[in-house]
Amino acid sequence: MFNGLAIFKTASALASHAMSRQSVVARNIANADTPGYVARDLSPFSETYENAQPVGPDGTLRTTRPGHVAHARFGTDPTFVEAELAGDASPNGNTVSLETEMIKSAEIRQQHDLALATYRGGLDLLRTALGRGR
Instruction: Give dist(CA 95, CA 34) in Å, integer.
Output: 10
Contact yes or no for 54/60 (Cβ under 8 A): yes
Alpha helices in 1-97 (DSSP H): 6-30, 45-51
Q: What confidence tens digit (pLDDT) does each residue in 56-65 have?
A: 445 555 555 5
> For the segment 66-114, what is each residue's pLDDT rounded down to a tens digit?
655 555 444 444 566 677 777 778 888 898 999 999 999 999 999 999 9
**Could you give the CA distance from residue 69 to residue 54 in angstroms, rounded to a whole number?**
10
Helix (H, G, I), strand (E, B) or coil at 40: strand
* Residues 35/93, Cβ–Cβ less than 8 Å: yes
